[in-house]
Amino acid sequence: MTLEPILAEVEFFRGMKQEHLALVAGCAQNVRYDRGEFAGRVGDPADKFWVVREGRMALELHTPNRGAITIATMTEGDVVGFSWLLPPYQLRFDVHVLQPTRALMFDGACLRGKCVADPSLGLDLYQRVTRIIAERLEAMSLQLLDVYGEHPIETD
């Protein structure tokens, strides 16, 4: 069974040309992860990315003093992992599975090759990824403002 109909329903791919969906589907597979697994670790080769179909995954950063810090939590429909797009193609965060998860996993090297062969596919994917990165940066900036922004000092 081809994954094209499933991809067409995913927000990230919505509106993509049918021929591009077919190319992307050729690099995709269904995967499952159990709670507590790591789909990837910092420094691992960034040779894949995921779209969560069911479950939750977290992007985590480890610090010596605080341990794991969750940068973002991904749920149904969310795209996880963009490091496959840019050299040195290494994961920058841990991808921690928080609950049993079903996802579409995409082979990054396969997609990069198809983007080189079909620049219009590359442009389409880069525009979609850039939009998500911009949305996440905006959300992160709001979180930082909430944490570090000015708060009135309460006096007695």
- Angle among Cα 19, 25, 30 to the nearest 5 degrees reads 165
Residue the block writes with tokens 């959300």: 139
CATH classification code of 4-145? 2.60.120.10
Tell me the C-alpha distance between 14 and 18, whole Å. 10
What is the identity of the amino acid at 37? E
Q: What pLDDT was estimated at residue 142?
A: 73
Q: What pLDDT was estimated at residue 28?
A: 97
Mean pLDDT in each 10-residue stretch from start to end of the chain (156 residues)?
89 95 97 98 96 97 88 94 92 96 98 97 95 84 69 64
Tell me the C-alpha distance between 99 and 102, whole Å. 10
Q: What pLDDT was estimated at residue 1?
A: 64
Number of H helices, E strands in the chain: 4, 6
Q: What pLDDT was estimated at residue 66?
A: 87
Q: How far is CA 28 from the centre of its chain?
A: 14
